[in-house]
Each structure stands twice: as C-alpha cells, then as structure tokens.
Amino acid sequence: MTQSDRHIPEGDRCPSCSGAGWKWWSVGTDGQEAKWIICRDCLGTGRGDQKGRKREKPAEAPSA
C-alpha cells in the first residue's frame, strides 16, 4: 500500500480498495480509457469506517 505517512491499520482498511482510497476502472470496449476513480465504499479515505482525509490518486496503473 502506498502513502505510508498516513498508514491505516490492517483492520481499518476499506475491503474494497485495500486502503488505497482509489480503484482502477476500465470501461471495456466502448472506447474510453481506463482511469483511477475514487473508491465509492470509503469515499476515498481508504478506511472502512470513512474517517480521515481523502488519499492521493496513485501515479501509475496497477500491474496486473
């Protein structure tokens, strides 16, 4: 996980984005690019309980 300056304990991390606050989203075949979107489950905070500040968008796409 990135952003070690705002480390979220394992038990408090959002299960959807693993505490990153952002998710990699691709539309598929309709011509739009893949991009980072804010995690809707934690509203970008990276915490399961939605406390804290929004986290910074990652610089690169995840390696899959």
- Band of residue 46 on the pLDDT scale cut at 50, 70, 90: very high
**Between residues 45 and 6, the one the model is more confident about:** 45
The C-alpha atoms of residue 22 and residue 40 are separated, in whole angstroms, by 9
pLDDT digits (tens, 9 = 90+) for 1-39: 455 556 888 899 999 999 999 998 887 656 667 889 999
The string of DSSP letters for 5-42 reads GG---GGGB-TTTTT-SEEEE---SSSPPPEEEE-TTT
What is the pTM for the complete model shown? 0.72
The mean pLDDT value for 52-64 works out to: 81
The C-alpha atoms of residue 22 and residue 15 are separated, in whole angstroms, by 12
Domain locations along the chain: 1-51
**Between residues 59 and 18, the one the model is more confident about:** 18
